Amino acid sequence: MSEASARQKESVLEALARAAARVAAGPVVNDAATRQALLEARAKALAKPRALHDASAAEDEMDVLMFLVGDERLAIPLGSIVAIVRTTAVTPLPRVVAPVYGVTAWRGRPLTVLSVGGSPSAKDSQCRLIVLGDGRRAVVGLLADTVDDTRVVRRSALSPARGGARGLFAMGVTEDAVLVLDADALLNAARPEP
C-alpha cells in the first residue's frame, strides 16, 4: 500500500471516528466534513471486489465435458465420468427402452450402453464411450461421436429443456444451445428395476 493511500485510509478512519464520537455525544452535526467522511467510507465498502469464488458462486458452477452426437453439442458433469475410451464392439439389445442402446465389455464385465442421439454410430472407429459411474465404479457407458472440450457452466443460467424423452435426462440448456445432461438420471436409467 502506498504512503498516500495509507494516509488517506487513516484520514477516513479518523473522520469516521470523529463522526461516531459526535453521534455518541448527541445530535449529529450536519457539516460537510462528516458527510464527506461517510460518503467515502460507503464508497470504499461498495468498491471492494467480490470474492472470486464465494460459496454460493462455487455451488452454482459445475465443470462439464462437451461432446458431439451427430451435429448436436451436449455436455455432462465431469464429476460423474470414470473414463473416456474408444468404443469396441457394442451389441445392440432388442426391445430396450431409450436411452438404453446395448451392452459392451468393460474390464471383464458387461456395461450397459446408452445413446442420447438419434442414430447411434457405435461401429465408427472414431466413436467414443464416455463411461459414467458413482465413485470409481463404472455403471453405464454413453455413446458420443467426438469428445470436444471442458468448460464451466452455471446451473442458474440453464434454461429448462424441452419435454420429450431426452428432456427427462437433461438438467437444462445453456445460452449457446448446449444440452446439459443429468448424470444421475442417466445412471438411474441404466439400473435394472426391482
Q: What is the pLDDT of residues 22-40, one digit of tens each?
A: 666 655 556 788 788 878 8
Burial-class residue 153 by CB neighbours within 10 Å (0-12, 13-18, 19+). buried
For the record, the C-alpha cell of 55 comes out as 460459496
54: in domain: no
Predicted pLDDT of residue 55: 61
Place of cell 472414431: 126
Predicted pLDDT of residue 74: 92
If asked whether residues 128 and 160 sit together in one domain, one would say yes
If asked whether residues 90 and 170 sit together in one domain, one would say yes
Predicted pLDDT of residue 13: 74
Collect the ranges in the chain with pLDDT lower than 50.
Answer: 52-53, 194
If asked whether residues 31 and 105 sit together in one domain, one would say no
Distance (Å, rounded) from C-alpha 148 to C-alpha 161?
A: 21
If asked whether residues 35 and 65 sit together in one domain, one would say no
If asked whether residues 183 and 96 sit together in one domain, one would say yes
Predicted pLDDT of residue 27: 55
Predicted pLDDT of residue 152: 92
Predicted pLDDT of residue 119: 55
Please say whether the beta carbons of 71 and 153 come within 8 A. no
- Comparing C-alpha atoms, which of 74, 102, 87 is closest to residue 169? 74
Range of the domain at 176: 59-190
The 10s digit of each residue's pLDDT in 87-123 is: 878 888 888 877 888 899 888 889 888 888 765 555 5
52: in domain: no
